[in-house]
Chains A and B, each alone.
Chain A
Amino acid sequence: MNNDAQMNDENFRLLRDFVYEKSGIFFGDTKKYQLENRLSMRLRANNLDGFDKYYYLLKYDPGARKELSALFDSVTTKETSFFRSPQQIQAFKEKALPEILSQRIKDGKKTLQIWSAGCSTGEEPYTLAIIIRELLAKEISEWDIRIFATDLSKKALRSAKNAQYNEYSLRSVPPDIKKKYFSNTGGQYQVTDEIRTMVELQYLNLNDPRRVELMKETDIIFCRNVLIYFDDPAKIRFVSQLYDDLNPEGYLFIGHSESLHNISKAFKLVHFPGALAYKKE
């Protein structure tokens, strides 16, 4: 019977606003089906037959806190892939990165530091490495480039170190890039060494201020779909650390529908074509 629960517009608005308030992740009107899909699993798990009841549980039930973390798990997409959220990747490639690089050239100091915070199985940092290599081409040898990729899961980090992916992970990779930076080994795609060696994988607990502090002098931080796991005070502290870690003019990218509203006023919100980012000034 639970399978039949329908999310009406009012349920959607209440739950969407609740999720946004608690996590900073926003489900637009066009994403109603997605939210319905994901939360219907939580309805089944709680043996509820309506989204209104689920909202009530989240809002007033003594067990709400526990449910909240299960809710977060179900609304964050665990699955990651190369070139994920193309408009953000494009903003990095066409706006943020060229801007930082030309600033460095002007300063006469060819260094670049990128941090993929919560890198999971490595698709994101390798994507960034590919873009940097493509952009700089032969000049790359003149640059001191560091791409740090950190995660809390050692299992994910091992997988990132192996750098082997299936066809599905590569579904958004342009054919020429695929040919150039991946070798096909029996259905699996191996990231080439020239890209692998650009990325430094590290275990890091983002909830450990002393470790996060060490990431300073970063130019661009990618921290997508991570903030959701922090409560508000932790978010505020963590984001202010990210701010401190960034060089002036540096950029922070969070998930494509995540928001820092109410979390930090230190950054300037930047509207790139089709994507948002935050800039330190």
Chain B
Amino acid sequence: MRSKMGIDILERIKDIDDLATLPSIGVEVMEKAESPDVSIREISEIIHRDPALSARVLKIAHSPIYRRASQHIDTIQKAIMVLGLNEIVNLAATISVLDSFSKRQSPHEEGIRTAFWNHCMATAIIARRLCLTIGMRLQGRDFTGGLLHDIGKLILYEHFHDQFVQAYNISMENNCPMYESELHIMGTTHMEVGQYLAKRWNLPSFLQDIIRFHHDPDRAEHTDLVSLISISNLLAKAKQFACGGDHISIILADQPAWRLMREHGYPMEDLDMERITFEMDDLGAQIKEYISSLSDHQTGEPVQ
């Protein structure tokens, strides 16, 4: 049963005009990429329509996370050749989605924003690492999914700021998950709000699935991908990159996402989780690097 306030918030989101159109280029790129006759030229033409976006994609293509070859990547076409079409599509889409939020910056509660970004980056980096280790073929959806899984929190932060901060504080004080305190304060959750927006923006179904079900992978359609993000989300918290107060202990082997992946034939028993966890000790440095490659100025702001 949804509380009245939950309905209120979803109603009010419908009325927020500037959420309606954004982020056109990101969505266009993703839609184009899904069509069977997609070409490198078409994708680079769409990205080129936004010079700032092109510049940022090129910049990130040089960051250690994406760098595959020592060669200089100076055009979008070249970036697609070197990194692959999927990678560039995901990158462009992610940047353009994230871009659409930063214009209405509240100067307050900078700590929450930082925690939010760090958590999203950590989840994305861990998802990529796990995806490679497990040998899943996800065409970069692992990284995009990690970055955008909590997009609902950003919407709440931007448009229902005071209530969101209140929910955040409660979650920190009581050491409970954000979705519990969100439900308590606002009658809805970041998953629900995120899904609403993802639908409205026509984000690809894999993203809608991740945004809605990363805490409940049993209900997802893209089960493997959502499970991967779900596990990465938990590991990011275990590595102390949480956005909220769930300072938790986790037995990964008992998680629904873990069970699902095992049932789907992934070699979860053989994973050296200790080693993977130890290797994440420099996660903080990796996040810093990624954030600085996303930002135009070295301000730590991911997008301007």
Chains A and B form a bound pair: yes
Chain B contacts for A279, CB-based, 8 A: 251
Question: A270 to B253, alpha carbons, bound, how many Å?
Answer: 9
Is A112 located at the chain interface by the 8 A CB criterion?
no
Residue in A closest to B235 when the chains form the complex, CB atoms: A271
Given the known interface contacts A268-B251, A269-B253, the answer about A274 and B278 at a Cβ–Cβ threshold of 8 Å is no
Chain B minimum-CB-distance residue to A268: B251
Tell me if B109 counts as interface (CB < 8 A to partner A).
Answer: no
Kindly list chain A residues whose C-beta atoms are within 8 Å of the C-beta of B269: 265
Q: Is B248 an interface residue (CB 8 A)?
A: yes
Task: Flag if B275 contacts A271 (CB, 8 Å).
Answer: no
- Please give me the residue from chain B that is nearest to A277 by CB atom: B249
Contact A259 B274 (CB under 8 A): yes
How many angstroms between the C-alpha atoms of A271 and B246 in the bound complex?
A: 13
* B37 within 8 A of partner (CB): no
Interface string of B228-241 (1 = CB under 8 A from A): 00000011011110
Which residues of chain B in 245-268 are interfacial with respect to chain A, using CB atoms and an 8 Å cutoff? 247-254
Q: Point out which of B234, B237, B247 has the most chain A C-beta atoms below 10 A from its C-beta.
A: B247
- Contact partner, A28, options B234, B273, B281, Cβ 8 Å: B281
Contact B274 A276 (CB under 8 A): yes
Contact with A along B256-297 (1 / 0, CB 8 A): 000000000000010011110111011001000000000000
Closest B residue by C-beta to A29: B282
Q: CA separation between A131 and B300, bound complex, in Å?
A: 39
Which residues of chain A come closer than 8 Å to B240, judged between CB atoms?
273-274
- With A260-B274, A276-B274 known to touch, is A269 a contact of B251 (CB < 8 Å)? yes
> B272 contacts which chain A residues (CB < 8 A)?
259, 261
Known: A268-B254, A271-B252. A261 touches B274 (CB 8 A): yes
**Residue from the set A91, A265, A276 with the largest chain B CB neighbour count within 10 Å:** A276
- Contact call A276/B275, Cβ cutoff below 8 A: no
Tell me if A95 is interfacial: C-beta within 8 Å of chain B: yes
Structural contact, A274 and B239, CB atoms closer than 8 A? yes
Chain A residues lying within 8 Å of B285, measured Cβ to Cβ, are: 30
Q: Specify which of B239, B248, B251, B279 is in contact with A29 (CB 8 Å cutoff).
A: B279
- Kindly state whether residue A257 has any CB partner on chain B within 8 Å: yes
How many of A's residues come within 8 Å of B, CB to CB?
22
Our pick among A95, A257, A272 for the contact of B278 (Cβ within 8 Å) is A257
* A28–B282 touching, CB < 8 Å: yes
**Cα(A27)–Cα(B185), bound, Å:** 44
- How far apart sit A270 and B251, CA to CA, in the bound complex (Å)? 5
> Is residue A20 contacting chain B, with contact meaning CB distance below 8 A?
yes
Query: Across the interface, which residues of A come within 8 angstroms of B234, CB to CB?
Result: 271
Q: Could you tell me if B248 and A273 are in contact, using CB atoms closer than 8 angstroms?
A: yes
Please, which residue of chain A has its CB at the minimum distance from the CB of B280? A28
Q: Would you call A181 an interface residue if the criterion is a C-beta within 8 Å of the partner chain's C-beta atoms?
A: no
Bound-state CA distance A155–B90 (Å) is 61
Interface membership of A182, Cβ < 8 A: no
Q: A268-B254, A271-B238, A274-B239 are in contact. Are A26 and B249 (CB under 8 A)?
A: no
Closest 5 A/B residue pairs (Cβ): A259-B274, A271-B238, A28-B281, A26-B278, A271-B250
Can you list 25 pairs linking A and B with CB atoms under 8 Å apart?
Answer: A28-B282, A29-B281, A30-B281, A257-B278, A259-B275, A260-B274, A261-B272, A261-B273, A268-B254, A269-B252, A269-B253, A270-B250, A270-B251, A271-B234, A271-B235, A271-B238, A271-B251, A271-B252, A271-B277, A273-B237, A273-B249, A274-B239, A274-B240, A276-B274, A279-B251
Given A28-B282, A259-B274, A274-B239, 17 other A-B contacts at CB below 8 A? Answer: A20-B275, A26-B274, A26-B279, A28-B279, A28-B281, A30-B285, A259-B278, A261-B272, A261-B275, A269-B251, A269-B252, A269-B273, A270-B251, A271-B238, A271-B277, A274-B240, A276-B277
Q: B residues touching A (Cβ–Cβ < 8 Å)?
A: 234-235, 237-240, 247-254, 269, 272-275, 277-279, 281-282, 285
